Amino acid sequence: MSHRTGAIPLAAAIAWTLSGLATAFAQSPDNGKLADLFNEPVTTSATGRPQLVSEAPANMEIITQDDIRRSGATTIPDALEFLTGVYVRRYGLLSADVGIRGYDQPYNPRLLVLVNGREVYEQAYGDVPWAEIPVQLEEIRQIEVIKGPNSALYGFNAVSGVINIITYDPLTDRVNAATIRGGTQHYLSGSAVGTGQIGDVAGVRLSAGGMRGSDFAPGQLSPIEAGVRQAPQTATFNIDAKARPAPGSEIYIEASAADTRYAEASFTGDMDTTFRRTNSVRIGGSVDTGLGLLSLSAYRNEALNSLDAGPALVGIADWFTQDIYVVQASLLSKLSADHTIRIGLEYRNNTLTAPGFLQGTVGYQVYAASAMWNWQITPALSLTNALRTDTLALRYSGTPAAFSGFDLADYNHAGFTAVSFNSGLVYEATDQDTLRLMVARGVQLPSLVEFGEQSPFGALGPVVVAGNPGTRPAVVNNIELDYDRALPGWHATLRSALFAQRTDDIISEPFSSNVQFVPPFGIPLVTTTNVGSSEAFGGELGLRGQTPGGLRWSASYALAATTNHTTLNTGPQATSPIDYAMSAPRHIVTGGLGYNWERVELDVKARWQSSYMDYRPTGVGFYLQPVTVQNYVTVNARVAYKLTGQLTAALTAQQLNTARLYQTAAPPIERRIIASLTARF
């Protein structure tokens, strides 16, 4: 491959311009202006400084606000569904699990989700409650989808990837919008976003939204599951305020609340209805110092949850409260024109209280330290190395389940130190060709339930269920080679990736583990265990383009092939949904077409995925029945008409090609037709 004349000067010019703009907007670079300038999305999340997505030391794709609007999405998983290498499992109008490169499952614990750097991944079960994320789609600037282990750059549990949701900046972006939607399944929703600013000194953005509807038909649910299934609804509120009290300094406060009810699939295969109230408060600031940009932040996430449970969990249907406190500090320094470092410290205190299934309170403290070094070796070659250590100390107050083999001392003297790293070499061979070579080690910590579940003999039948204080973190090692190619003649970009990874010390939560028998009475015991390893290899190939005439198109293929080496499901009946070799489709193909013509906007997207294995409860103990989910095609379409400069009407059809579709072993997903009216002012 020959180097094009001017490639190195162009790369140098982009790097110089971004560096200069980063200095001019030290705390909040205007990513919108940068993206417009270079006709490519810009990110600061990987290294702390503005970078074109093609230059980031990670496999990153960005869903822009235009992409969200054109998709007709009503939830964030809707917007992710047609992205290369992303897996979406739907259970209801508001309930979904999202995975990256396979490894998807109920309560998927391998994906870290952030909103402006605040974690919305929950530690109770190690899942992401998508319905509770308190931002409206209209206030999202971009959704960054980072694939592969990135724990050292983003935090623990970023083992299959990261979904980083970036909202508009109240200081630099004026966003005012209101949307009302209505459609089939008695669906009705509304949202509003408003921004107020005082010059370039202070700004505040308020948003609120809510929805209600009738969930998909119960299908093959048991009478108990159908009886606890209730209509979904949400109500959310968010405030984001920011100020510049002096040149080179910035302070902010964010606060949000959500009240939700929705159906979800549990790790036992049951369909439950969850009622949850959450709130969060975050404060922080940054200041230019002689050493670099110093940033400090602290936030608290609180959740109150209650559950109407399916048959396997009848008897422990209960409430719990969860509190997460996080304090973070970082220093970003530019040592020279070619060397940038970032060092960080983090403290977190997580607790979960549940008188029913924990018999008390379980929690842990984590002390983390991280360092990142970005070296611009030449104008066309850069290297980024990151290292992070997490030291965890467990604690428990309550009554350990009899015959579990664990006492209070076991819980209150447990802990470990886990190390993660990321290394990425980016080579811009020409102004059209970019290569990335990445090596990473990611860390997945056990959830609080996996540490502290306590269901004594008789609560769930003749068995003891217990968390295990000695559970080790799962570790994912990954190597990846990416190649991006700009195709100016087609007004398109080709992106490709090859990866291989291995997961060691896979964590099986208590209900999915094999039964042990405790002497001398032979009491059956199921407890959290590390159950073995898994290997995966795969690749992605995607094309995306947009012509000057308004035609948009995309096509992609993703392969994720996994193997298992675990101790699970070795008996005559399955007890665990963790079967990575079978529990996610191996092949996914997506495609899309869109066109703008005067006031009309048309978009069609399609997705095909191969068959995979899911699980349903048998109704006997914790045993599961394998269910084959056949390969399927789903097609979404949207047409919008701009009534005025500020008012747009749209009609969206989700799953246009079929009325009912089984995406999991849960009830089938039904076709949805949604009309919307959006005012932007």
The pLDDT, as a whole number, for residue 31 is 62
The pLDDT, as a whole number, for residue 321 is 93
The pLDDT, as a whole number, for residue 576 is 81
The pLDDT, as a whole number, for residue 514 is 84
**Domains of the chain: which residue ranges?**
7-680
CA 318, 103, 111, 163 dihedral sign is negative
Q: pLDDT digit string (tens) for 98-123?
A: 999 988 888 888 899 999 999 998 88
Lowest-confidence segment of 33-47, 91-105, 457-471 by average pLDDT: 33-47
**How much of the chain exceeds pLDDT 90, in percent?**
71
At 409 the three-state DSSP class reads helix
Q: Given phi > 0 = left and psi -120 to 50 = alpha, else beta, which region is 537? A: beta
Judged on CB neighbours under 10 Å (0-12, 13-18, 19+), 36 is exposed
Q: Is the pLDDT of residue 133 over 60?
A: yes
Identify the residue with better confidence: 198 or 272.
198
Q: Is the pLDDT of residue 95 over 80?
A: yes
Spatial separation of the C-alpha atoms in residues 245 and 250, rounded to whole Å: 6
Lowest-confidence segment of 67-81, 307-321, 509-523 by average pLDDT: 307-321
Element counts in the chain: helices (H) and strands (E)? 8, 41
The pLDDT, as a whole number, for residue 153 is 92
Residue 551 corresponds to which tokens in the numbers above? 């035609």
Identify the residue with better confidence: 310 or 18.
310
Q: Span 30-56, mean pLDDT?
A: 76
The pLDDT, as a whole number, for residue 11 is 44
The pLDDT, as a whole number, for residue 16 is 44
Q: How many Cβ atoms from other residues are within 10 Å of residue 230's Cβ?
A: 15
What are the φ and ψ backbone dihedral angles of 633, each rounded to 5 degrees? -120, 135
Break the chain down into helix, strand, coil percent, rounded to 5: 10, 55, 35
Amino acid in the structure at residue 341: I
The pLDDT, as a whole number, for residue 675 is 98
Q: pLDDT digit string (tens) for 347-384?
A: 999 999 998 889 999 999 999 999 999 999 999 999 99
Distances (CA, A) of 537 to 98, 101, 204: 19, 9, 45
Amino acid in the structure at residue 306: S
Report the CATH architecture of 7-680.
Answer: Beta Barrel (2.40)
Question: Up-side HSE of residue 166: CA atoms within 13 Å toward CB?
Answer: 22
Q: pLDDT digit string (tens) for 504-555?
A: 999 998 888 888 898 888 899 999 999 999 999 999 999 999 999 889 999 9
Judged on CB neighbours under 10 Å (0-12, 13-18, 19+), 387 is middle
Task: Write the CB contacts of 299 (distance below 8 Å, at least 6 apart in sequence).
Answer: 118, 254, 280, 281, 282, 283, 325, 326
Distances (CA, A) of 363 to 196, 272, 276, 411, 643: 40, 25, 20, 10, 54
Identify the residue with better confidence: 313 or 251.
251
Q: Span 221-246, mean pLDDT?
A: 88
pLDDT band, residue 33 (cuts 50/70/90):
low
| 583 neighbors 616 (Cβ within 8 angstroms) | no
Q: End-to-end distance of the chain based on CA atoms, in angstroms?
A: 49
Q: pLDDT digit string (tens) for 275-286?
A: 999 999 999 999
The pLDDT, as a whole number, for residue 387 is 97
Q: Is the pLDDT of residue 242 over 70?
A: yes
pLDDT band, residue 35 (cuts 50/70/90):
low
Site of tokens 């300038």:
37
Q: Is the pLDDT of residue 5 over 60?
A: no
| 127 neighbors 448 (Cβ within 8 angstroms) | no
Judged on CB neighbours under 10 Å (0-12, 13-18, 19+), 548 is exposed
Q: pLDDT digit string (tens) for 459-479?
A: 878 899 999 999 999 999 999
Q: Span 611-627, mean pLDDT?
A: 85
Q: Is the pLDDT of residue 32 over 70?
A: no
